[in-house]
Amino acid sequence: MGNRKILFLVEVAIFAALALLLDVIPFLSFKVWAQGGSVSFSMIPVFLMAFRWGLKGGITTGVLFGFYQILTGAYIVTIFQTLLDYVVAFGVLGFAGIVAYPMRKAIESKHVKRMITLIFLGGLIGSFLRFAGHFFAGLWFYGSLAPEGQPVWLYSLVYNGGYMLPSFLLSTVILALLLYKRPKLITL
């Protein structure tokens, strides 16, 4: 096994564990809803891996983060809900890696505005796809929790949007500041 492959595997494990820590440390995350869903810094390590290694790095880190979530006390209704809410929803965060190549080019050419735009675009793609996973899980598995008279789609939209939008904004602002100062963090 080559050094690059070993580096990849080690970084995936470390960044997925860091994502979990950022999600469970009380002063670094806060619950928005009693049933789950929190605003935290946990997407930052997944996005970093996506920007650093592309789709493969981001998706692999996100999927492992989802499994870590399951192992540390996920809210489980069915196997399908668990897969959608944890494995799929956290795995698709890695689609932020779609912008990895143009981001490296922006860094090489010292085009800061383009780099920051790509951070927000990649973060938006990953966050929206994660939101979609949680949204559909809400429609299919948590409809009974919607207040009487409220459409299930609206309940799932408000519930999941209530923590996903602030998490997206927090993560991308922090990443923009971090990579503005240390753009070499995502170059290999």
Q: Please report the pLDDT score of residue 75 as a whole number.
A: 84
pLDDT in tens, 28-49: 666 666 667 788 999 999 999 9
Band of residue 137 on the pLDDT scale cut at 50, 70, 90: very high
CA distance 82 to 109: 43
Q: Please report the pLDDT score of residue 31 as a whole number.
A: 67
Matching CATH number, 3-25+37-186, of 3.40.50.300, 3.40.50.1000, 3.40.50.2300, 1.10.1760.20:
1.10.1760.20
Q: Calculate the average pLDDT of the chain.
A: 93
Domain extent listing, the chain: 3-25+37-186
| Ramachandran assignment for 187, one of left (phi > 0), alpha (psi -120 to 50 degrees), beta (any other) | beta
pLDDT in tens, 75-126: 888 999 999 999 999 999 999 999 999 999 999 999 999 999 999 999 999 9
Q: Please report the pLDDT score of residue 33 as a whole number.
A: 61
Helix (H, G, I), strand (E, B) or coil at 187: coil
Band of residue 187 on the pLDDT scale cut at 50, 70, 90: confident
On the question of pLDDT at 127 being above 80, the answer is: yes
Nearest to 36 by CA among 124, 129, 156: 156
On the question of pLDDT at 3 being above 90, the answer is: yes
Q: Bridge partners of 40?
A: 29
Q: Please report the pLDDT score of residue 142 as a whole number.
A: 87
On the question of pLDDT at 129 being above 80, the answer is: yes
